Structure 1
Amino acid sequence: MEVEELISNSKVLRNWPSFIIGLGLIWILKNVFYKWSRGPQRYTLENREEEEEDLEDLEDELQPALEEKPHVPFVPGQNLNPNGAERFYELMGGRRSIRSFKSHPKPDLSIIEDCIRAAGTAPSGAHTEPWTYCVIEKPEVKQSIREIVEQEELINYSQRMHKQWVTDLRPLQTNHIKEYLTDAPYLILIFKQIYGFSEDGRRKRHYYNEISTSISAGILLGALQAAGLSSLVTTPLNCGPALRSLLNRPINEKLLILLPVGYPKDGCTVPDLRRKSLSEILVTF
């Protein structure tokens, strides 16, 4: 009897639905205020978020991704000898990132394809070859890419990027305007494949997919330089999902690098930079 009287006299217990609803509204308002006050996320070079891989279904029926068959004898390939290393250094020593491209003349597409073939020779984790190269030459697609990138870069420079980052970029004279995205005759968008698919449709792991794709991109830069083409390595912050959607790429692909490619415009200038000497980058034991 005393318990019933206690319940009937307790305003909290008699009005518990309203009490629960009130707590829920407070929680919602608190989260909305937190997101509003936080504003756009500020990025530095150290706090880049990595995508989480949902690959739980790969533990069933474990099978190697590659066919199990005997190894074959190694046949050495061609080289630049004599003095191949020195010649290659001299070639790559002339490579510079440029931001002023000629729209014409336009390099033959077969040259771009050969360079990407060279990139495809890169090593990869468990030979998964986790890269996709999208070559863009249609003006309307390049224009759409430029609009996406400039919209995000305006926010990046003004709000997201740390002030020190923006300050460090000042000598390079960069900003959110990216004329090279429509001036360059080709854009190469390099996607890393977070996972792949086997012939029977099962998902398969792509080990070290970002490192492998980065190595492949490095070989591409060397191939472009050997072909007499110039380029600019860009990593447009916050643009990946929109560009992937624009190009109708699958969900397992994430944009890693956007690379304008072509010939430098007449009168093109570059920052007056010095590369580190061998003694500054080499340690021998």
Structure 2
Amino acid sequence: MAFSPLTPVFVAIICVLIVIILKGSRKSSRKEQSNASHKTESRPWVDEDLKDSTDLPVEEEDDGEWQGLDDNIAHVSFSTERYAEEDMLKRSKAFYELLNKRRSVRFISDEPVPREVIDNVIKTAGTSPSGAHTEPWTFVVVQDAEIKHKIREIIEDEEEINYKKRMGDKWVNDLKRLRTNWIKEYLDAAPYLILIFKQVYGRLPNGKKKTHYYNEISVSIACGILLAALQNVGLVTVTSTPLNCGPRLRVLLERPTNEKLLLLLPVGYPRKDATVPDLTRKPLEDIMVVV
């Protein structure tokens, strides 16, 4: 076979190109690995309970049969109170002013709160809309002092690790101005702890799993209504997502595995020496767009 005198040159060029491509590939691979590692390190605190499970498929026990309300459910006429425009304006302004006073309060009094009030605010939260009217929420009200203290121990154990290792310097520094840390005295002091669980699926009478559509969004809406209801009766709370505590708290409270802890609210009156950060809220033009 005859070879062109340029063949060695071409071979050398090809070898150089291969080396360059391989080096570039390694750099790209290392960069991707670094980015993946960075993403992992920047959000290592997210536990399975707090991940959005809206789209999680129900296991094959769901045979596709109608599993919601009874067939041919009756529809009834509906009407609501209609106000004069002047009254609407007054009511909307009064309700805004009430809710605008809401603050996250970490100094909660141990003064007793009527239990019926708690029942009523939770019933109010239970009026929330939900996907296909599945009502995928469980409100666990804890008033026993021993259980409250066990909850505090579990949360403080994990929160210390969160602050020191999981959350990262940026998040911890952002919280410094709010003067928060892993010590949660209000979990012992508050007369009630309300733990809100999302039911990622339900159970039919025959034991099969029942799909809970948009369970994450549905329960989140209920939590918002609950916050408004608490503000309406003069009680305070601080929204708490007990990171990496869900499984231990679920076992402590003897909740089934289809329930995932979404939020914890210590509820009571503010202490007489209570303080809150002097924060301002965004003006309307920064949060609303009219098209």
Q: Could you state the TM-score of these two structures normalised by the residue count of structure 1?
A: 0.81
- SS of the equivalent of 1:259 reads strand
Pair 1:204 & 2:210 matched: yes
CA contact (8 A) 1:103 1:183 kept: yes
Provide the residue aligned with 2:68 in structure 1: 65
Query: Any conservation in 2 of the 1:115–1:220 contact (CA below 8 Å)?
Result: yes
Residue type of the alignment partner of 2:260: K
Query: What is the identity, as a one-letter code, of the residue corresponding to 1:88?
Result: F
Quick check: 1:261 aligned with 2:267?
Answer: yes
CA distance in 2, matches of 1:279, 1:221: 24
Q: Give per-residue Cα distances to partners, 1:26-77, cap 9 Å, x unaligned.
A: xxxxxxxxxxxx9xx7453996653764622244152241112232111326
- Note closer, same or farther for the CA distance 1:157–1:42 as it changes in structure 2 (3 Å cut): farther
1:241 pairs with 2:247: yes
Instruction: Spell out, residue by residue over 1:160-193, the C-alpha distance to the aligned partner (whole angstroms, 9 max, x if none).
Output: 1121111111101011110010011110000000
- Equivalent AA in structure 2 for residue 236 of structure 1: P
**Mapping of 1:122-271 within 5 angstroms?**
122-271=128-277
Structure 1 residues 79 and 184, CA gap change in structure 2 (3 angstroms)? farther
Question: How many pairs are equivalent?
Answer: 245
Q: Secondary structure at the match of 1:172?
A: coil
Q: Secondary structure at the match of 1:230?
A: coil
User: What are the Cα deviations for residues 196-252 of structure 1, in whole angstroms up to 9, with x where unaligned?
Assistant: 112232211001101100100100001001111011100010000000000000000
Residue identity opposite 1:130 in structure 2: P
In the other structure, the counterpart of 1:86 is 93
Deviation for aligned residue 1:136: 0.5
Name the residue aligned to 1:56.
Answer: 59
Question: Secondary structure of the equivalent of 2:177?
Answer: helix
- Structure 2 partner of 1:272: 278
Does the CA contact (< 8 Å) of 1:65 and 1:198 recur in 2?
A: no
| Worse overlay, 68-77 or 85-94 | 68-77
* Structure 2 CA distance for partners of 1:78 and 1:250, relative to 1, 3 Å: farther
For residue 110 of structure 2, the aligned residue among 103, 112, 117 is 103
Shift in alpha-carbon separation, 1:89–1:51, aligned structure 2, 3 A: closer
TM-score w.r.t. the length of structure 2 is 0.79
Structure 1 distance, partners of 2:212, 2:249, is 22
Question: How far 1:108 sits from its partner (Å)?
Answer: 0.3
3-state DSSP of counterpart to 1:66: coil
Unaligned ranges ≥5, structure 1:
1-37
Q: Which residue of 1 aligns with 2:11?
A: none
Task: For 1:78 and 1:174, locate their aligned partners in 2 and report how far apart those are by CA, in whole Å.
Answer: 44
C-alpha RMSD of matched pairs (Å): 2.2
Structure 2 counterpart of 1:118: 124
Call closer, same or farther: CA 1:265–1:45 in 2, change over 3 Å: farther
Give unmatched runs, 5+ long, in structure 2: 1-36
Q: Residues 273 and 45 of structure 1: is their aligned pair in 2 closer, same or farther, counting only changes over 3 Å?
A: farther
Equivalent residue number for residue 24 of structure 2: none
**SS in structure 1 opposite 2:274?**
coil
SS where residue 276 of structure 2 aligns?
Answer: coil
Q: CA deviation at 1:154?
A: 0.5
8 A Cα contact 2:152 2:184, kept in partner = yes
